[in-house]
Amino acid sequence: MKIACLGNMNNMLFQIGRYLIDEKHEVTFFLFDEFDHFLPEADTFEDISKYRIINLGWNIDMFRKISGKSIRSLFKEFNYFIGIDLAPAYLFKAGLKLDIYLPHGSDLYEYPFFKYRNTPPQLWEIPANIISRAQFIGIREAIAVSLDPSDEVYEKPYKQIRTKTKVRISTPPFLYFKQYTEDYPKLSSLNESLKNLRKQYEFIVFQQISQDWSMRGPYKIDKGNNHLINGFADYLKKDPLYTKDSVLILMEYGGDVEKSKQLIKDLGIEENVIWFKKMNRKDMMVVIHYSDICVGELGYREWYSYSSIIEFMAMKKPLIHHRGDDFYKAKGMDLYPMVDAKNAEEVAKTFFDYKANPKKYIMMGKEANAWILKDAEKKLATFREVLLSKKSNNEISFVKLKKLAYYFNTHILYNYFFLRIYQLKAMLKG
């Protein structure tokens, strides 16, 4: 089967694509306008020239400039489409639908519901508003959506876009687990420096998520980094020896880096915190390898799965994050071993317990690894089933009517009205 993987946010499609290649499918990776740390070469030490990778560079601004005809021509040889990010919108423009859509976040809860922040709208807002409606229809038309049960920030928009009768399957494996062998750390240029860091400290805590805990914007993003920092400070105060043998490693990216640094300074724990610059996942996995315990999101939202915690499990490390066990137990979910925490007190308590019972947490990491590998096999089996069950082509039914409804939607006409005004202004200035 010829499979097109469209987009690569969080390197998600590069993961599933490699599994599909192992199963003898012909896979081509089409990159959009990706962040550097989400390019295929950021995820593996192997030579990526052996893969079919085409850089399209598509983004929100380009949507109006690329014709549906050219999109159809580009994908005419493929009979299966897996997409992320803006893939639903671009395929809709070509009258095509995705076989599997994998949301990463804002592509599900923000892009399809974009609203003007200014009246009249600013020029930069118009492209986002135009693509918004196409994203909504593209997600609705996708044959299946790959999404584990999640927090309301995902569930609410999903229900608004898709009906109960639409197919929903579990998320794919977020990582290509086969590459994480015992020799994997040796491939990284950071290996020696991390080995030296390991010799220097007895207890290493690592959190690689972005620093975002101000609850800014309409979606109130709160990853709870402050709970980790406060909890680590409380842990250090417990015993003077801890200040000599313990270190917290954080990543220097996100909207609240300076706020976190100020909190660390106010708490007087600067000597026990190391900041790493944003790095590629292939190297970050080696940092995880040399850590003792790893921390995900500690905010108010309850998450079952996301890439950070799966990275910990891949490297056999015990993890702390806020999952909300009662919420997922009620849904009958199979829960992996971890520590559920959502405040500084619970974080510090876990650190104290680790120091008293390290073997317990080492075993937790191994059990989590066994769980994630078993879970990956189940999810791959689901993807195989969906692949083999394909019955129809990717043409959107009644596409002409749906496109007509799109172009004559008040929402879209409003966009083009203001776009034309800006174009006329530019001509007059010229």
pLDDT per residue, tens digit, the chain (430 aa), is: 899 999 999 899 999 999 999 999 999 999 999 999 999 999 999 999 999 999 999 999 999 899 999 999 999 999 999 999 999 999 999 999 999 999 998 999 999 998 877 777 777 788 888 899 999 999 999 999 999 888 888 999 999 999 888 999 999 899 999 999 999 999 999 999 999 999 999 999 999 999 999 987 777 889 999 999 999 999 999 999 999 999 999 999 999 999 999 999 999 999 999 999 999 999 999 999 999 999 999 999 888 888 899 999 999 999 999 998 888 888 888 999 999 999 999 999 999 999 999 999 999 999 999 999 999 999 999 988 988 888 888 988 888 888 877 776 777 777 778 777 877 877 777 6
What pLDDT score does 345 carry? 98
Residue 380 inside a domain? The answer is no
**Domain identity same for 191 and 335:** yes
The whole-number pLDDT of residue 416 equals 76
> Are residues 228 and 191 located together in one domain of the fold?
yes
How many whole angstroms separate alpha carbon 204 and alpha carbon 4? 41
Whether residues 159 and 187 fall in one domain: no
296 and 168 belong to one structural domain: no
Identify the CATH number of the domain in which residue 321 sits: 3.40.50.2000
Same domain, 158 and 191: no
Contact (CB, 8 A) for 8 and 29: yes
> Same domain for 62 and 134?
yes
Q: Name residue, tokens 């990778």.
A: 53
Helix (H, G, I), strand (E, B) or coil at 101: strand
- 389 lies in some domain: no
Query: Does residue 208 fall inside a structural domain?
Result: yes
The contacts of residue 285 (CB under 8 Å, 6+ apart) are 180, 184, 311, 314, 315
CB 165 within 8 A of CB 187: no
Is residue 310 within 8 A of residue 266, CB to CB? The reply is no
Same domain, 304 and 418: no
Residue 430 has what pLDDT? Answer: 62
Q: How many helices (H) and strands (E) does the chain have?
A: 17, 13
Instruction: Order across the sheet with 246-251: list the strands.
Output: 273-276, 246-251, 203-207, 293-295, 319-321, 339-340
Element (H, E) at 133: helix 125-141
Do 121 and 187 fall into the same domain?
Answer: no
Domain match, 327 and 404 both? no
Count of Cβ atoms closer than 10 Å to residue 131 Cβ: 27
Task: Specify the pLDDT at position 381.
Answer: 93
Question: Do 154 and 184 have their domain in common?
Answer: no
Number of separate domains in the chain: 2
Within a 13 Å sphere around the CA of 1, how many CA atoms are in the beta-carbon half? 19
Does residue 167 lie within any of the structural domains?
A: yes
Asked, for residue 193, whether it belongs to a domain, the answer is yes
C-alpha span between 75 and 71 (Å, rounded): 6
Does residue 387 lie in a domain region? Answer: no
User: Do 155 and 189 sit in the same domain of this protein?
Assistant: no
**393: three-class secondary structure by DSSP:** coil
Q: Domain of 64: which CATH number? A: 3.40.50
Q: Are residues 156 and 207 in the same domain?
A: no
Its domain, for residue 10, covers 2-172+398-429
